[in-house]
Structure 1
Amino acid sequence: MSDIVVTGTRRETRLQDTDVSVTVLDRKTLDAARIRDVRQLDAVVPNVQFNESGQLGSTFISIRGIESNPFIINRAAVYIDGIPFRELSNAVLNQVETIEVLRGPQATLYGANSESGLIVINTRAPTDHVVAEARATGAAYRGGVNGAIDGFLGGPLAGDRLAGSLAWKAEQGDSFLANRRPGAPAGSLRTLFLQGRLRWRPTDRLTLNGTAYILDKHAPGIFDQQYVPLDVDLYNRTYADRFNGGRRIGKFSSIEDAPKLTNQREIVAGVSARYDLGYGALDAAVSYRHYYSDAKGLDFDFTALPTAAGEDRKARDFYNAELRFSSPASKPFNYIIGVTHYRDDNDRFQTTFAGPGTLDSYKPAPHQYSHARDWGVFASANWSPLFLPKVTLSGGIRYDHAHRAAKQNAGQLDLGGGNFFIYRDAELAGDFHAALPRFSVRYAPSSRLTFYASSSKGYIPGGFNLTAAQANLPNSVLRYASETMWSHEGGFKWRSADGRLRLAGAGFYIRSNNWQEIQVATDATGRIISSDYIGASASIDSKGFELEASAEPVRGLSFIANIGYADARYRDLQIDATTNARGRRVKLVPAYDGYLAVRYQRPDGLFGRAELSLKGKELLNSGGAPVQPATQTVGLQLGYDGPRWSARAFVDNLTDVRRASGLAFRNLAFGNDGNWYAPVSRGRQAGIELAWKL
């Protein structure tokens, strides 16, 4: 079997030769597992959790107990075709070539916001011969259906010098969290995606790559951050007869009066170049990304009672540039040096209205502006001493500088019932910087077995809060400090001589200071009286391990298995004047996760596949009261895979598990009604997929 290659190390490296815990998923593995969007990745990668705030809300990544949530920027960086996504919407994984998940800080090469790890997504590049593929998928689930068509067309455009490709996807479906209020749209989602890529080789030494895509989502009847009660029976007893006209919700439905509509658009373009100097390679890349989202329909009381409704609108522009030189990897001493620049401009405002209304009733609060500009210089080196040929020593360092600025004007936001969030005039700016080292040693007694150990530092820059509240908050909440983290790990990688059996494992210990934690102010009943803000006075520790195995004992039969354990706990987190979360598990981090998949394909193309996913108990906020119990989900596939066409029937989440997938809150209007409200992941769905290729 061929070697697995890792590109997240900034140069193509055999998996066996890397000094980091990394999972690599190729196109064949992704297709076999039916991974079609980024939120499905956590099932097949240990110690990785994708949290979400609704069907269209942003995706936030927890790795090894280092969690992220919808109000703090991701502590794990995501790169799609070399373009950084520090805040990731649910990206369409259409025609992906490989996905690499690197656990542990990658700040030496990637800078801020790679504190917990890195996800590198490489989509399918243009080919030197004509390739055409198409796929149609239909699925049914509780309360709705969904249909999608996607495809890929690529090949040479001008001899062997210029090649191009197009990838596309069109999808239409019902919301998996239907609104059952009479007269209100139950919710539907239309997604359109188009990507183009070009590869030009004007000389044997120079290669230019260009990529651009547009992703458009239109969702009448859906608010991107949809929260539902965790205790359905309690909710129905409390509100069915009083406010919902005697109607009751189910596991995957709601009854809300707020008029809902979400529109999202993402436009991305990037250009990269590689020039072979003979004594090394020079790489350059620039990219631009625009993200727009307008989400109407936050229902403050989560019932059919017309109290207050909210909207969140944002427009963001991202710019990125990088230049680096890599010496020849074949030398006993090799190195990489480079510079990077990153810019983020954000314009956001929220709106509300009280009482009954329509999509035109929302009244805006003041705009909030933020600006981020980062630049960094980095260097890393590997050395294999001649007197120790089986040992490789590695080191690297990065100096990272971050400028943050925020501005808002005075105003207010109507919450209904005579309650208002008050916005103050604010114009804040400051600079943050850090030196980020990394050290590792790798010992390879043979070409099939590797041991390694590493220590590395990561950080997230500090910043400023633009916070609105019903009462004055202290000025100390306006600024928060930079978060720092040291991670130590040791691991191994082994494969059999024929490559049919692979094992990898790692243990880790992580300590973070100035932990940035989301906070809100509440009154005595638990009702929220401020918008969210970030504090940085907490600290956490996390320790654990992950194990991965894959096997193909006989032709046609394959196994994939993994398990991850993360004991992540707060060392210090002052929740209120009398409560400290010291010793509690970090929120949104399952105690363990596991995965087992078995696939058998006959020589005539018929195949079957079964998978089991496990997730341990998880706290849904730092207070520790809402708890998501451990869950087990099952998936099944049966189909045919031939040289020109394939077909499969599938069932996802056969056991119809309802699992909270993000941060939990009390009722936004009524406070503590005995229930908690959180987004939930999909229930059971079954469908058919047909595919054709040239």
Structure 2
Amino acid sequence: MTEQSQLTLFMHCLTVLGISTACSVASANPLEYTSGKLLTDQHKQTGKQLSHESETLEKVIVKGSKRNTELMKSDLSVTLIDSALINEARLRDFSRIDDLAPNVQFNESGQRGSIYITIRGVESNPFIVNRAAVYIDGIPFRELSNSVLNQVDSIEVLRGPQGTLYGANSESGLIIVNTKTPSDVFEQNYRIAASDYHSGQGYEATGFISGPLINKELSGSVSFSSAYEDAFVKNIGTSTGDTGNIKENYIQGRLHWTPSDSLSINATTYWLDMDAPGLFDQQYVPLNINLYNQLYADNYNQGQQIDDWTVLEDAPKYTNEEEFVAGISATYKADYGDIDLAASYRSLEEDAKGLDLDLTAAPIVAGREAESEDYKNIELRFTSPTGNHFDYIVGLSYYSESEENTKSTFLGAGTLNSYLAAPMQYKEGKDKSVFGSINWYLTEKFKIGAGLRYDNAKRSAIQTEGELNLGFGTVTRYQDAHLSETFSAWLPKVSALYQYANNLSFHASLSKGYIPGGFNLTAVQDDKVDDNVFTYDSETLVSRELGYKWFSTDKKWRSSGAIFYIQSDNWQEIQIATDANGRPISSDYISSDASIISKGIEMELTWRPVKQFSVSGHIGYVNAEYDNLQLSESLNVKGQPIQFVPEYDAGLAARYQWDDDFYFRVEANFTGKTALRSRGDIFQKATAMLGLQLGYDSGEFAIRIFGENLTNERRASGLAVENMAFGTDGLFYSPLDAPRVIGLEAEVWL
């Protein structure tokens, strides 16, 4: 299906449904957030999922500004996803969020690899820290996995720089996830699901138990999940006997304590354990199956051939990951304002074995990467009472991160114990910030906002002398290096909001974001080290936007949208040094002598003509190009599309629920042509993904049959690379999104 035909089909769908075909449609059905107790009580009382039409847009509350603000009075471009829509859309992993929000893409470097977020053409990739931050229960995640998305109560997707309140690494936007709060009445929720796809099956069981521990003072909750999943792409050339599967166990505990009317304290902790025998966390597969089989079937794969959802790799593979998180927050409410204190700790241990550098069943060269990461965060904030003319927020924060990384390889045949390690490399970062923002209400309808944050980031790195053998005579050598530098930035934001009527408002903003510079712990052959490779500068970004929010007087139509223009200097881009044959001769490294320009438009719309039926959709268009990116002495990709940024994305969903509690939901998501690397020499074609649910929901019990990617699109989801051992072979290799998945899910509320 061509891009033009996809857009034509999308607009035709709107016309059939009676929706105006002006440049957009909608996404989430925004609701005011409710506590876990209120959600459960209403769910039982109504005998079905919370009805969206009972809410009005002016009551929707945006929390991402750190001051609860009515949506119509907010100067943010935001998509709100409440617990009802999370359940209706069956939102079970982060990658599905982009099905509900325009100009937002979630990509993964494999079935359980790193997740990276692209917003409004400002891309992230697995080798550079996310340019969009994620906060889960107030805890920052600059990298994240799907497993933490369990028992979620609400999600906010904020587009545009949020550095004024959230600092570095929020320059493209912010994802705020709130899990269910412990309630003061006893409640339980349990869910089981089974799914089937081309290469195997998946099973998952989750639960949530909540209730009072001390009457009217202390409540607690426990949520948990246990899952098993076969690999989407099965390795039929395995040397260990494991074709690939994933086992995950997760448990989270929360406490909510209110020792007095003015003081509330929340605490949360979770533990995650993931084992994936037969899998490396970044699984690259050839995008051209026929050419791959022609080149490698007879000489390297013992006459075997692969299909769309299999690979032939001999490297002994095993990935395991363990994560621990703890956080505490306290709010003291006084007549003069609120004082908020939050602190968190996160540790992550990951060991990924089995990067098959030759990408064949031949025992040539295999790689391993082990990481140990620690993160600490603390913030103190004062929020003045909302005033008739003036209010403000001031605060300070501290963030630290440390990472130990060890790469290993071995040549020829071997086992899981054969990997030979290069010296461990170490990186550390410490960020200190002070920030403030004000709102000035000139009239009842007109508000001006301003904010400023000073961010001071210290980056340190230690590289230890050693070497890493990549095979075929390529040995990368690490030199001793002790590096330290401090980066700082002022991050301003100015905005204006005009509420033309109760059901229509306009906003404009100008804001700056940045990512601190740093160091590449990299190795270059023959001891030739370029100082410009070791150090890269801070990235800066300036965004301008105009937006609106609207709902019809009969509350049946709701819409929002924005146009934007973004410029970034010192753009940080991943580079891989290669030899004349295209083989890597160094570890990947980051350069910052580049710039980009991104401009576009986005719109959302929901329509609920009657109680039982709703339609929602969205569309986003982006023209995002490199303004300057020198990849070699002879190649500058100025004017090429930015990698991982589709030309457009759109979604359309319709749901109908009968009075006897049976329902159906159908959805279609469209993604435009997307560059898979900065050279612009390999693209993912435009795709259309269809999903369907048929189910029954009584309020206390629900069961559904679901289908995802019913068109069975084989879609690349990450950076495309050439063969890492053989070099340029005419092929590109990339991670893949999920195949067609059919499943059954049952859920009960007690």
Task: Provide the TM-score with structure 1 as the length reference.
Answer: 0.99
Match of 2:344 in 1: 287
Q: Is the 8 A contact 1:36 1:92 kept in 2?
A: no
Alignment of structure 1 residues 225-240 onto 2, 5 Å: 225-240=282-297
Q: 2:372 aligned with 1:335, yes or no?
A: no
Higher relative contact order (CA 8 A, sep 6+): 2
Match of 1:389 in 2: 444
Q: Could you tell me how far apart the structure 2 residues matched to 1:401 and 1:419 are? A: 39
The Cα of 1:350 is off from its aligned counterpart by: 0.6
The Cα of 1:87 is off from its aligned counterpart by: 1.8
Task: Choose which of 118, 129, 136 in structure 2 pairs with 1:62.
Answer: 118
Q: Could you tell me how far apart the structure 2 residues matched to 1:331 and 1:121 are? A: 30
Q: Is the 8 A contact 1:484 1:512 kept in 2?
A: yes
Q: Is the 8 A contact 1:275 1:281 kept in 2?
A: yes
SS at match of 1:235: helix
Residue ranges of structure 2 left out of the alignment (5+ in a row) = 1-53
The amino acid that maps onto 2:648 is Y
Q: 2:328 aligned with 1:271, yes or no?
A: yes
Alignment of structure 1 residues 414-493 onto 2, 5 Å: 414-471=469-526, 472-493=528-549
Match of 2:436 in 1: 379
Q: Is the 8 A contact 1:58 1:90 kept in 2?
A: no
Match of 1:198 in 2: 255
The Cα of 1:182 is off from its aligned counterpart by: 5.8
Q: Could you tell me how far apart the structure 2 residues matched to 1:329 and 1:156 are? A: 32
Match of 2:4 in 1: none
The amino acid that maps onto 1:217 is M
The amino acid that maps onto 1:419 is T
Q: Could you tell me how far apart the structure 2 residues matched to 1:117 and 1:91 are? A: 22
The amino acid that maps onto 1:410 is E
Match of 1:545 in 2: 601
The Cα of 1:330 is off from its aligned counterpart by: 4.2
Q: Could you tell me how far apart the structure 2 residues matched to 1:469 and 1:230 are? A: 29
The Cα of 1:389 is off from its aligned counterpart by: 2.0
Q: Is the 8 A contact 2:702 2:746 kept in 1?
A: yes
Match of 1:508 in 2: 564
Task: Choose which of 580, 585, 592 in structure 2 pairs with 1:529.
Answer: 585
The Cα of 1:416 is off from its aligned counterpart by: 2.2
Task: Choose which of 465, 478, 482 in structure 2 pairs with 1:410.
Answer: 465
The amino acid that maps onto 1:64 is R
Task: Choose which of 130, 142, 147 in structure 1 pairs with 2:186.
Answer: 130
Residue ranges of structure 1 left out of the alignment (5+ in a row) = none
Q: Could you tell me how far apart the structure 1 residues matched to 2:483 and 2:238 are? A: 46
Q: Could you tell me how far apart the structure 1 residues matched to 2:633 and 2:578 are? A: 12
Match of 1:361 in 2: 418
SS at match of 1:41: helix
Q: Is the 8 A contact 1:290 1:318 kept in 2?
A: yes
Q: Is the 8 A contact 1:75 1:115 kept in 2?
A: yes
Say how many residue pairs are matched: 692
Q: Could you tell me how far apart the structure 2 residues matched to 1:673 and 1:204 are? A: 68
Please identify which structure carries the higher strand content: 1
Alignment of structure 1 residues 88-99 onto 2, 5 Å: 88-99=144-155
Q: Is the 8 A contact 1:258 1:306 kept in 2?
A: yes
What value does the CA root-mean-square deviation take over the aligned residues? Answer: 1.0
The Cα of 1:42 is off from its aligned counterpart by: 1.1
Q: Could you tell me how far apart the structure 2 residues matched to 1:381 and 1:207 are? A: 25
Q: Could you tell me how far apart the structure 1 residues matched to 2:308 and 2:434 are? A: 50
Match of 1:82 in 2: 138
Task: Choose which of 208, 215, 220 in structure 2 pairs with 1:159.
Answer: 215
Match of 1:302 in 2: 359
Match of 1:217 in 2: 274
Match of 2:722 in 1: 666
Task: Choose which of 735, 741, 744 in structure 2 pairs with 1:679.
Answer: 735
- The CA deviation string for residues 183-213 of structure 1, in whole angstroms up to 9 with x for no partner, is 5311010010100000000000000000000
Q: Could you tell me how far apart the structure 2 residues matched to 1:251 and 1:7 are? A: 43
Match of 2:550 in 1: 494
The amino acid that maps onto 2:296 is Y
Q: Could you tell me how far apart the structure 1 residues matched to 2:309 and 2:525 are? A: 33
SS at match of 2:146: coil
Q: 2:319 aligned with 1:262, yes or no?
A: yes
The Cα of 1:498 is off from its aligned counterpart by: 4.7
Q: Is the 8 A contact 1:349 1:365 kept in 2?
A: yes
Task: Choose which of 544, 548, 554 in structure 1 pairs with 2:610.
Answer: 554
Relative to structure 2, which stretch is displaced further, 324-333 or 131-140?
324-333
Q: Percent identity?
A: 50
Relative to structure 2, which stretch is displaced further, 75-84 or 474-483?
474-483
The amino acid that maps onto 1:277 is A
Q: Could you tell me how far apart the structure 2 residues matched to 1:651 and 1:555 are? A: 25
Q: 2:587 aligned with 1:517, yes or no?
A: no
- The CA deviation string for residues 659-680 of structure 1, in whole angstroms up to 9 with x for no partner, is 1100010000000100000101
Q: Is the 8 A contact 2:353 2:369 kept in 1?
A: yes
Q: Is the 8 A contact 2:539 2:569 kept in 1?
A: yes
Q: Could you tell me how far apart the structure 2 residues matched to 1:390 and 1:275 are? A: 30
Q: Is the 8 A contact 1:164 1:197 kept in 2?
A: yes
- The CA deviation string for residues 576-618 of structure 1, in whole angstroms up to 9 with x for no partner, is 1101000011011001000000000001110001000000000
Q: Is the 8 A contact 2:422 2:468 kept in 1?
A: yes
Q: Could you tell me how far apart the structure 2 residues matched to 1:500 and 1:219 are? A: 47
Q: Is the 8 A contact 1:355 1:416 kept in 2?
A: no
- The CA deviation string for residues 128-181 of structure 1, in whole angstroms up to 9 with x for no partner, is 211101000000000100000001110111111101011110001211111011
The amino acid that maps onto 2:385 is P
Match of 2:21 in 1: none
Match of 1:109 in 2: 165
The Cα of 1:281 is off from its aligned counterpart by: 0.3
